[in-house]
Amino acid sequence: MKTLLKNAREQKNLKIREVAQILGIDQALISKFESGTRFPTREQIAKLSQLLTIDYDTLMVSWIKEKIVNDYGNEPNVLKALSTILIENNYNTSISNEPKIDSILEEMERLKDKLQQLR
């Protein structure tokens, strides 16, 4: 997410100070979003998405992913919990041929590998 935010801001030729002023968010906080040391709120995600012309869903998925890794990165049961959420909410996980599901599963595997390396 941090790279997504920084790249979008730079493509718009905006300085961190300008983004902060436009959105009414502290300049240091914007900097921390881009360095990955802090996470924006949902409201801030919406504002950043609109200002930087980043697809809202793409930014939200990235935000959620980062929060999961940050909050539960070393938790060995995180993948089981995510699978349970899918099952309990009646998501059809058997249609893994769809590109979106394949990419999500691939991302989950990459995150799992990262988690294993952190141990």
At residue 119, the pLDDT reads 67
> Is the separation of the CB atoms in 115 and 78 below 8 Å?
yes
The per-residue pLDDT string of the chain (119 residues; one tens digit each, 9 = 90 and over) reads 888 999 999 999 999 999 999 999 999 999 999 998 999 999 999 999 999 999 999 999 999 888 888 888 778 788 888 888 888 887 765 544 455 676 777 777 788 877 777 76
At residue 97, the pLDDT reads 46
Longest dimension (CA), the chain: 47
Radius of gyration of the chain (CA): 16
Burial of residue 72 (number of CB atoms within 10 Å: 0-12, 13-18, 19+):
middle
